[in-house]
Amino acid sequence: PPDHAKGGDNGKQSQQSYPIDGDYTDTWTRAQVADIELTDQNTLPLYEEMPVEIMTDEVWVWDTWPLTDLSTKTVNVSGWKIAFSLTADRDLAFPQRHWTAEIGYFISRDGKDWQYMGDVFPEEVDPPGLREWAGSAVLVDGRVQFYYTASGADGAADGTPAYFEQKLAMASADINAGPDGVSFDGWSEHKVLAEADGELYQTLEQSLVGPIIYGFRDPFVFRNPDDGEVYMLFEGNSPGESVECLPENIGEGDSPPIDPEAKYYNGNIGLAASVGGSLSEFELLAPIMNANCVNQQLERPHATFRGGDVYLWTITHKFTFAPNLQGIGSDSLIGFVGPSLRSDYQPLNGSGLVLSNPPENNTQAYSWYVMPGGFVESFLDNVQGEYAGTLAPTVKLAIQGNARTKIATIFNQPFIK
């Protein structure tokens, strides 16, 4: 019989909601992670050869997000779907791509065949930072609100801490879509929306003590169906130089011994609230989830909404799990379900693991992003050791009411639903 002490669809979680501007932060626990098991319901197939054609031979493509409305649904503009991707020149070595990343875009009539359109931000509008990292793009009243990470302090030299600085930023533009394609004009200035404050979210400086640098990135903006207000999720870390490994971080059930370094693994899912309905002014709230003593990075957090429940999604790497958990975790999509944004979430499938790379190639794909309806896009990192840098075949998840998921279909194309 299942061990009812270990989380999962066992009623352990109270499924209680808390005030959205309060200080309740849920936890992803060591005991839940210890329950991770790779099965054919969650483990992606190992590709023997490239399963897709590359989308463009001009740029590497990795983290990708579709143009959505505030309800997180993909929108069609004059019959076009639009995907935004981090891109870097394909002449660069693939692992170097992060340091020159720029947001590019693709358009498609059917969501399957993609045409590369180049960079999103025009030369004449100057984004803060040295490079652009992941975010989201929302169409509101005919204008696209581009949320992204301004990465690297202006002028910072390679090798200095400031080279890794991250701020949440945005710009907006009008969209022109017609028979010939899609373009943007009427650009706003770029604006920094939030910086790590050291009180709710760890600063770059506080993180320098630990083995992995902080994250303050990947803004995802949406309207919360519960209260009708606009919020932003993002990847953060718990404040201070290190954290305490509390009982709520260890959880109930067996888990491996806590290594002294575990206190530096402090990933969280951050929340900010729009000020007065504004799309360009946000205030930081307490994180909604932390993985203190569990994992350093809960990347690209995003949400979908179904039947009054919030499905909270994030991605993580094997190497960012705390020591003694690294052998259990993998590069994976993690998910939770709860009754509201700030609540006592239940990890999907007991452990939180929803999709994992095959153990034979833990870096085959990454940056899974769940669209409403359970369609998941991601990018191929490498196939049999050859860098791919293009979107991976889309996966359809079956999401069951009892907090269980399984891989229902793997399409033969990168497919934005």
CB of residue 213 to ligand FRU, shortest distance in Å: 11
Q: Are 148 and 103 spatial neighbours (Cβ–Cβ below 8 Å)?
A: yes
Task: Please give the Cα distance from 379 to 44 (Å, whole number).
Answer: 13
CB of residue 76 to ligand FRU, shortest distance in Å: 26
Judged by the rule CB under 6 A, the positions of this chain that interact with ligand FRU are 62-63, 86, 98, 101, 133-134, 149, 217-218, 235, 299-300, 366-367
CB of residue 136 to ligand FRU, shortest distance in Å: 11
Structure tokens at 214: 């902080």
Smaller CB separation from ligand FRU, 63 or 377: 63
CB of residue 169 to ligand FRU, shortest distance in Å: 12
Cα–Cα distances in Å, from 207 out to 30, 148, 243? 21, 21, 11
Task: Please give the Cα distance from 356 to 376 (Å, whole number).
Answer: 12
Structure tokens at 172: 């907006």
Q: Are 269 and 301 spatial neighbours (Cβ–Cβ below 8 Å)?
A: yes
Smaller CB separation from ligand FRU, 8 or 127: 127
Strand locations in 166-260 (E): 166-178, 181-185, 191-194, 217-223, 230-237
Q: Are 24 and 18 spatial neighbours (Cβ–Cβ below 8 Å)?
A: yes
For the chain, the residue count is: 417
Task: Please give the Cα distance from 284 to 280 (Å, whole number).
Answer: 13
Task: Please give the Cα distance from 56 to 217 (Å, whole number).
Answer: 26
CB of residue 272 to ligand FRU, shortest distance in Å: 17
Longest pairwise C-alpha distance within the chain: 63
Smaller CB separation from ligand FRU, 255 or 332: 332
Active-site residue (options: 9, 26, 63, 377): 63
Tokens 């394909």 -> residue: 90
Active-site residue (options: 165, 299, 309, 381): 299
CB of residue 306 to ligand FRU, shortest distance in Å: 25
Q: Are 132 and 149 spatial neighbours (Cβ–Cβ below 8 Å)?
A: yes
The residues near 177 (Cβ < 8 Å, ≥ 6 apart) are 77, 78, 79, 80
Smaller CB separation from ligand FRU, 147 or 222: 147
Smaller CB separation from ligand FRU, 136 or 340: 136
Catalytic residue list contains 299: yes
Task: Please give the Cα distance from 82 to 369 (Å, whole number).
Answer: 15
Structure tokens at 11: 């009623």
Smaller CB separation from ligand FRU, 28 or 80: 28
CB of residue 116 to ligand FRU, shortest distance in Å: 18
Task: Please give the Cα distance from 379 to 391 (Å, whole number).
Answer: 4
Catalytic residue list contains 124: no
Smaller CB separation from ligand FRU, 30 or 217: 217
Strand locations in 5-114 (E): 26-27, 59-68, 81-89, 102-108
Q: Are 287 and 270 spatial neighbours (Cβ–Cβ below 8 Å)?
A: yes
Q: Are 360 and 46 spatial neighbours (Cβ–Cβ below 8 Å)?
A: yes
Smaller CB separation from ligand FRU, 214 or 375: 214
CB of residue 86 to ligand FRU, shortest distance in Å: 5
Tokens 């997000």 -> residue: 65
Q: What are the residue numbers of the active site?
A: 63, 299
